[in-house]
Chains A and B, each alone.
Chain A
Amino acid sequence: MAGVVETRDLTKTFTVRAKAGRVRRERREVVAVAGIDLRISSGEMVGYIGPNGAGKSTTIKMMTGVLTPSAGTVRVLGLDPITSRVELVRRIGVVFGQRTQLWWDLPLRDSFDLLRAVYRIDPQRYHANLAAFVDLLDLGPMLDTPVRQLSLGQRMRGELTAALLHDPALVFLDEPTIGLDVVSKHAVRRFLAEMNRDHGTTVVLTTHDLADIEQLCERMVIIDHGRIVHDGPLEEFRIRHGTQRTVVVDLEVEGPPLQVPNTTVVRVDGARQWLSFDRTVTTAAAVVAAVVALRPIRDVAIEEPAVEELVRELYERGGGA
């Protein structure tokens, strides 16, 4: 089966005019997306992440018919997003977390009703969907409130509903959890997970909160400087990049940093010491055994680096994977 999203060598270059001197303006090319090959299958939940300015939003805009690619091809649901924009956006849902797609001065309910008209949603289907979303996202109390009076978290639930009311096969979410508290984030994640499970909705999600990815996406695509630097299951990323482990030992008495082969003491706090090692070089068991042979210990723990830490390291290395 063809992928719901397929890109080949997808590229976007912006020409910017920078001031150079008092009157002169210089043209400069900014390569926002530098040749991306991506294939997303139906029913996948893909986390599309990368540092600020990596090209995530630009990619999504090319997939949703907002921006025309400078080079390469993109097909979404088998359609060219530029020439078949109207046809395509009828079948997908889009949330740009930084913008609203709701009618600011009208009650939330009116926005949904307008979308029903614009997407030509079958009335029965519409009422069933709306009832389900109101229930799932706890929208009931705010349906009659003008959108401008909703809090950010409340509004974001409205945005998600607006993007999914017409049963899209595929949704693009650009930072849907930005600025939300833990309760709202949880509501958004649970909602997306249910849509994916119950309706097979394909989800492409960008975020700076890696917990979103850990809780929702089996597949993580990382881009940096417009290029893909990782594409695979989250677990694989952890295994490939997370080879550093840390043994934390509580010694009976304080002492100088322990001298254990293949480890480095990265931190000392009273009688507690952190020994870092590479999983591919030695094992936690060997390290603990070596420590015990040197000094009496009271307690021991083994720490894995958080995904967030690994991703940060990758970003800082400039994506050189």
Chain B
Amino acid sequence: MAMIELGGKVYECAPPHSVLEALTAQGEAIPSGCRAGVCQSCLMRCLKGTPPAKSQEGLKTSLVQQGYFLACRCYPESDLTVALGDGPGLRQSAIVVRREMLNRDILALYLRPEAPFAYRPGQFLRLHKEANLSRCYSLASVPEFEDTLELHVRRIPDGRVSGWVHDTLAVGETVEIGDSTGHCFYVPERQDHPVLLLGTGSGLAPLYGIVRDALAQGHHGPVWLYHGSYALEGLYRQAALQELARRYPNFHYVPCVDQTGAAAEALGARTGTVLGALVADHGGFSKARVFLCGNPDMVKDARLKIFLGGASMADIFADPFLPSGS
């Protein structure tokens, strides 16, 4: 058992509970989201003691050096003094410069950060609505091409943050954003191997960044992008992706919809799920680098299928768009 000190109070934390579970069970309000080490909502800072290495996996070196750790991944073996992690310096301001509806329920939000904002296409940032309410959104922009940050926000019924973005947030307003995080991005290695990208709904956002980045960095192996939606009108950015496919013969864009019909075929859209289309097109996945974004069930099924089909676990990068646990 370890003792955790927060704001002058001391709490017990014993297996199998994480610091997040122990503190919230004992009445502390700690922001949290996916509770799986992905979204970084529960970022805390260690002031005394050493957080376990596992609680710092995936964090930027600069954060690790400052003692930041993820409370949901922290199973301490020794006593720690901790503070809420959302200190200044992790956030910065950005101005809303443009809004554009991409389809009936997905809005492109363009932000200009007030200070330089470093990121790789496909990473995500945290958009703050108010002190204790924020959500993750993936970056669709590429820093080498665009000087604004582009997010694709899908409207969730009764969604506290997505609803606010859609209905209230106006051009010219200033919002707070957190650092870029996540490991869904392209690195220029094994450039002759296949790259497979699967996304549903606004899961296209990170993929739209990654695919343009990979092609611009000279990836010359086959690149396949599968974008799935419930119906044709749920697809977006088709023209831009088709244009990209014309420019890069190694790039294949495959829109997939759950509906049949002449209109879908005219667009070259496939019927069925992204995973179904992928499996139909490819015999196996060894050597492939894979990016999966959007619907958590799709991500889970695709990960298993693609791994069993021969891809290495280390080559599968995934951002399930998990809802926040509040």
Partners in one complex: no
